[in-house]
């Protein structure tokens, strides 16, 4: 399956990155000279996404000005200036700007480097893996040892068949959620119109046996605090010497 629509969750306050985010939205914080959201949008464009909805709230004018300069993918702004909608509410609102059907969802501050040249990229693999007949959502997941800046939390256990369940101590094959989803937008047709957490849909899918995961190739990173920037930049430079 080829997926050409995407939603990028970019409206958070980035409180742990203060004082940097006292004057700048977190997605525009630069890692090795490049704003985090551009790593995400470049990954989407490389996977064949042509249209992406991006929600904005914190320093929304800065976000809109930056996004207006991009040509690919074409950006549609989901305005949350009046009220933050949390991850689920923000996704539900943004999806209304896109055509019904398969969509990739990413967080604006979670990305990866080091994909294998000449091979399908992670998002292409995730799109091909997603099977709406048996899945509500397919999540890109990563081994703890392939993360940078992560707090060590294990999110799910991944079965041999690719099914995900919430991780508990002692479970086999623990994985971290890498912040990328393949799903059909119609899953959110009856979603609440107010703020809610996306985890509600993860747990609902687990209960139905319809949450699946695919392992990421490369090095995944999250930048939660100012101290994490230097570590992330070192990883980018190691994998992308021109970065």
pLDDT in tens, 58-102: 999 999 999 999 999 999 999 999 888 999 999 999 999 999 999
CA dihedral sign, ordered 33, 235, 137, 10: negative
Cβ-based burial of 231 (10 A; exposed 0-12, middle 13-18, buried ≥19): middle
Q: Is 41 exposed, middle or buried (0-12, 13-18, 19+ CB in 10 A)?
A: buried
pTM of the model: 0.94
| Architecture of domain 5-239 in this structure | Alpha-Beta Complex (3.90)
**Can you tell me the distance from the alpha carbon of 178 to that of 153, in angstroms, rounded to the nearest whole number?**
12
Domains of the chain, residue spans: 5-239
Spell out, as residue ranges, where the chain has pLDDT lower than 50: 243
3-state secondary structure at position 63: helix
How far is the C-alpha of 172 from the C-alpha of 51, rounded, in Å? 38
């Amino acid at each position: 399956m080829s997926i050409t629509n995407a939603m990028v969750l970019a409206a958070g306050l980035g409180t742990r990155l203060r004082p940097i985010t006292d004057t700048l939205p977190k997605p525009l914080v630069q890692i090795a000279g490049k704003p985090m959201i551009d790593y995400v949008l470049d990954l989407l464009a490389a996977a064949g996404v042509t249209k992406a909805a991006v929600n904005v709230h914190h320093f929304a004018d800065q976000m809109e000005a930056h996004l207006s300069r991009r040509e690919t993918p074409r950006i549609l702004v989901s305005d949350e200036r009046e009220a933050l909608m949390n991850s689920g509410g923000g996704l539900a609102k943004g999806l209304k700007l896109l055509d019904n059907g398969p969509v990739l969802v990413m967080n604006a501050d979670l990305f990866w480097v080091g994909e294998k040249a000449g091979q399908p990229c992670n998002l292409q693999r995730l799109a091909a893996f997603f099977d709406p007949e048996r899945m509500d959502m397919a999540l890109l997941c990563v081994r703890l040892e392939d993360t940078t800046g992560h707090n060590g939390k294990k999110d799910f256990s991944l079965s041999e068949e690719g099914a995900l369940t919430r991780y508990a101590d002692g479970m086999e094959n623990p994985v971290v959620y890498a912040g990328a989803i393949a799903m059909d937008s119609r899953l959110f047709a009856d979603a609440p119109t107010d703020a809610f957490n996306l985890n509600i849909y993860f747990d609902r899918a687990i209960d139905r046996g319809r949450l699946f995961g695919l392992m990421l190739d490369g090095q995944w990173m999250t930048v939660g605090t100012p101290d994490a920037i230097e570590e992330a930049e070192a990883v980018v430079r190691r994998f992308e010497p021109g970065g």
